[in-house]
């Protein structure tokens, strides 16, 4: 989606300062719109003369939410000054001032940088119009790229401690075009988030009309990917948030988590250090520091295939690193005694330290036991369904209580998970740590057995070994002017696809993503099915429309339709329908909408990448030409090559 720009300016023909008429509609049409469109912006202006203070809802919403506001100060128009004042009061950045000829400058903005455009006979001067447009285009691009730079609003410059309101507080009470679109978009985002469909979230993130929504969407995508433990791709999303808002605290925190989980501990520590300096009384920040140090400590001694005795000895040797992990958790719990997550981590690690032969510190342990007991129980009082409070209390019982109590509390914790595989697996990871270090073996084994049984009952997220993404030519329609995939080449193409899949070792445990068009798509899907690969069809239209557009037009279309339905009948998962999952095609301008095939290709690609960048392989049946436009095989090939480089290109020029 294009960023939005709101234009505040007079309308129609108005007398200039010398009394000569100025045609502001021509200025808008000939100067502003072309220049701003060239910068990749969607331009919005109210379409009628307004009385001062009588601002239509849609226009006012755009004024507040738009990525950029361009104010024309050629005349001292009350509406323009009012709109500029509102923007300066509520947004710190994103304003460009332009003006035509005027004898004096307004005092309040005398020193502000303004772009000047030239007029002739009250309209943009043809002799300088191209130059004026280019200057505005360049400034618009520079302003958007330098969003994190100097605050342009004089209000925020003069009041350095003033913070911009959260963008959601700028949504008007009265429903308007933006709020309706946002509600629909947010609803689809929430469904995708609940289903942990990071690919859907990524597509929706790319389609947001404003910077504020892009931040929210990228963060949601990062959270979903973090939950799926795809840390590299999650990191990309949080870095995208920080490119839009360098001070975004949750994204900074999550970036540190991703860096730690990727083993980039020095970078993670640096990000956390900055956060603790800026937020020294924030328990979440100190808990994050503890998490990074805990991950670092575990990475120093955990080795695949090592015996329990070897792990115990190696962990004991890393006592200093363990102490570094305990301290920030302890600080977080002191700052906020209700933060049971920090308390139980500090206590568990301290008791492991004693177990491994390190410092005992009985007073600290006793204080932590009492604090965690209070924090976990009061959290349960506030919400009986709080899984994490129950998990903290159960872990406390494992540390200090007898076996029967451990069994009872872990049973209650497992029930509170309500089948949430991710929550259960998080508890399991802690129990595996205790098991590996032989901490209270009977109690740990009992707790782990209870959690393992509940994990087995829940539905774990499908994790494919590899993801095969496909795009390729359709079988030629009878009326195609120049042959591309003639029907008599079907067998040769099928052999090429089969050979590519065999070379990649495709088989059970893998996932294949494709549309289902006649020709390459169906040949690929049939070959994958024959090798035991799990299939997922993703269609750009409703199924009847897709069949009409992409299956039946082929030569011998009836036969291809039959093959489509035969394949579909054996699928474990129904085809996913893009308009149902992602909503209608988003606008790319005032009247234009996005290409459905391009959007579906992005949906396929993002869905594949969400399983893990290193798992994605792209197979294409293609003649190397640019194809029939945006959304074809060429588009997908370039996107995948740029992202992963793992491409198996079956070049039809070499087949026939």
Same fold, 4-160 and 467-655: yes
CA angle 284, 285, 287 (to 5 degrees): 65
Band (pLDDT 50/70/90 cuts) for residue 627 is: low
Q: Are 301 and 436 in contact (CB under 8 A)?
A: no
pLDDT beyond 80 at 519: yes
pLDDT beyond 50 at 566: yes
Per the DSSP assignment, residues forming a β-bridge with 467 are 511, 616
pLDDT beyond 80 at 301: yes
Give the percent of the chain with pLDDT over 70: 95
pLDDT beyond 80 at 49: no
DSSP 90-105: H-SS-EEEEE---SS-
Band (pLDDT 50/70/90 cuts) for residue 93 is: confident
Q: How far apart are CA 524 and CA 502, in angstroms?
A: 12
Whole-number pLDDT of residue 47? 62
pLDDT tens for residues 452-477? 999 988 877 788 999 999 999 999 99
Q: Which of 94-108, 120-134, 580-594, 615-629 has the highest mean pLDDT?
A: 120-134
Q: What's the residue count for the chain? A: 656
Fold of 467-655: Rossmann fold (3.40.50)
Whole-number pLDDT of residue 48? 43
Give the percent of the chain with pLDDT over 90: 66
Q: Are 199 and 217 in contact (CB under 8 A)?
A: no
Average pLDDT over residues 398-420: 95
Q: Is 624 exposed, middle or buried (0-12, 13-18, 19+ CB in 10 A)?
A: middle
Q: Are 572 and 578 in contact (CB under 8 A)?
A: no
Whole-number pLDDT of residue 613? 85
Band (pLDDT 50/70/90 cuts) for residue 549 is: very high
Band (pLDDT 50/70/90 cuts) for residue 50 is: very low
Nearest to 412 by CA among 389, 430, 429, 428: 389
* CATH class of domain segment(s) 4-160: alpha beta
Band (pLDDT 50/70/90 cuts) for residue 341 is: very high
pLDDT beyond 80 at 141: yes
Whole-number pLDDT of residue 107? 60
The rounded mean pLDDT for the chain is 90
Q: What are phi and psi of 394, to 5 degrees?
A: -65, -40
Q: Which has the minimum average pLDDT: 71-80, 563-572, 585-594?
A: 585-594
Band (pLDDT 50/70/90 cuts) for residue 632 is: low
Band (pLDDT 50/70/90 cuts) for residue 52 is: very low
Whole-number pLDDT of residue 54? 42
Q: Are 430 and 295 in contact (CB under 8 A)?
A: no
Average pLDDT over residues 491-506: 97
Structure token pair of residue 432: 């595996």
Question: Would you kindly state where each structural domain of the chain is located, as residue ranges?
Answer: 4-160, 467-655
pLDDT beyond 60 at 53: no
Q: In this structure, what is the dihedral angle of CA atoms 509, 510, 515, 519, given to the nearest 10 degrees?
A: -110
Whole-number pLDDT of residue 630? 54
pLDDT tens for residues 349-370? 999 999 999 998 999 999 999 9
Structure token pair of residue 162: 């003033």
Q: Which pairs count as long-range contacts for 546-553, CB under 8 Å and 24+ apart, including other chains? A: 546/515, 546/516, 550/474, 550/515, 550/516, 550/517, 550/518, 551/516, 551/517, 551/518, 552/518, 553/474, 553/477, 553/518
Band (pLDDT 50/70/90 cuts) for residue 568 is: very high
- Residue 99, Cβ neighbours under 10 Å: how many? 17
pLDDT tens for residues 148-177? 666 788 898 888 888 888 777 887 777 777
Euclidean distance between the first and the last CA atom of the chain, given in angstroms as a whole number? 40
Q: Which has the minimum average pLDDT: 8-17, 330-339, 380-389, 640-649?
A: 640-649
pLDDT tens for residues 195-212? 888 899 889 888 886 777
């Amino acid at each position: 989606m294009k960023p939005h720009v709101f234009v505040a300016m007079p309308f129609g023909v108005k007398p200039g300062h010398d009394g000569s008429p100025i045609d502001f509609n021509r200025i808008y049409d000939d100067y502003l719109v072309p220049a701003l469109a060239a910068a990749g912006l969607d331009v919005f202006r109210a379409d009628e003369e307004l009385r001062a203070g009588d601002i239509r809802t849609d226009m006012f919403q755009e004024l507040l939410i738009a990525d950029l506001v361009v104010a024309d100060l050629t005349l001292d128009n009350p509406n323009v000054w009012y709109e500029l004042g509102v923007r300066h009061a509520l947004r710190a950045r994103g304003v460009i001032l332009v003006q035509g000829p005027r004898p004096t400058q307004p005092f309040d903005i005398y020193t502000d940088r303004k772009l000047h455009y030239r007029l002739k006979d009250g309209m943009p001067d043809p002799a300088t119009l191209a130059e004026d447009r280019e200057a505005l285009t360049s400034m618009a691009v520079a302003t958007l790229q330098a969003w994190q730079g100097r605050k342009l609003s004089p209000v925020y410059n003069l009041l350095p401690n003033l913070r911009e309101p959260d963008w959601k507080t700028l949504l008007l009470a009265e429903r308007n075009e933006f709020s309706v679109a946002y509600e629909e978009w947010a609803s689809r985002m929430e469904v995708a988030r609940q289903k942990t469909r990071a690919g859907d979230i990524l597509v929706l993130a790319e389609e947001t009309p404003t910077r504020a929504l892009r931040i929210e969407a990228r963060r949601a995508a990062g959270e979903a990917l973090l939950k799926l433990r795809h840390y590299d791709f999650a990191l990309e999303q949080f870095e995208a948030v920080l490119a839009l808002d360098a001070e975004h605290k949750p994204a900074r925190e999550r970036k540190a988590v991703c860096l730690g989980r990727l083993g980039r501990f020095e970078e993670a520590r640096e990000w956390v250090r900055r956060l603790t300096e800026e937020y020294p009384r924030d328990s979440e920040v100190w808990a994050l520091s503890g998490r990074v140090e805990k991950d670092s400590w575990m990475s120093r001694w955990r080795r695949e295939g090592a015996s329990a005795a070897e792990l115990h000895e190696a962990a004991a040797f890393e006592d200093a690193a363990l102490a570094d992990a305990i301290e920030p958790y302890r600080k977080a719990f002191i700052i906020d005694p209700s933060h049971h997550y920090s308390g139980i981590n500090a206590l568990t690690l301290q008791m492991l330290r004693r177990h491994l032969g390190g410092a005992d510190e009985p007073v600290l342990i006793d204080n932590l036991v009492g604090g965690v007991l209070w924090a976990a129980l009061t959290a349960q009082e506030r919400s009986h369904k709080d899984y994490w409070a129950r998990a903290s209390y159960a872990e406390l019982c494992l540390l200090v209580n007898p076996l029967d109590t451990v069994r009872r509390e872990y049973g209650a914790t497992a029930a509170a998970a309500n089948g949430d595989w991710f929550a259960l697996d998080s508890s399991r990871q802690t129990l595996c740590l205790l098991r590996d270090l032989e901490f209270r073996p009977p109690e740990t084994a009992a707790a782990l057995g209870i959690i393992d049984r509940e994990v087995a009952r829940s539905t774990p997220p499908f994790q494919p070994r590899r993801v095969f993404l496909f795009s390729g030519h359709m079988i030629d329609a009878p009326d195609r002017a120049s042959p591309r995939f003639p029907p008599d080449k079907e067998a040769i193409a099928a052999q090429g696809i089969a050979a590519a899949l065999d070379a990649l070792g495709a088989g059970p445990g893998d996932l294949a993503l494709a549309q289902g068009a006649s020709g390459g798509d169906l040949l690929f899907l049939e070959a994958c099915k024959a090798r035991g690969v799990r299939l997922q069809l993703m269609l750009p239209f409703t199924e009847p429309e897709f069949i009409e557009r992409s299956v039946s037009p082929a030569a011998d279309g009836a036969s291809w339709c039959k093959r489509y339905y035969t394949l579909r009948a054996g699928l474990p998962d129904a085809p996913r329908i893009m308009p149902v999952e992602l909503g209608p095609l988003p606008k790319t301008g005032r009247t234009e909408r996005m290409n459905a095939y391009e959007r579906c290709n992005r949906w396929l690609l993002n869905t594949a990448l969400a399983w893990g960048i290193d798992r994605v392989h792209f197979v294409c049946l293609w003649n190397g030409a640019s194809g029939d436009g945006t959304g074809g095989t060429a588009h997908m090939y370039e996107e995948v090559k740029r992202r992963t480089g793992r491409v198996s290109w079956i070049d039809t020029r070499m087949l026939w």
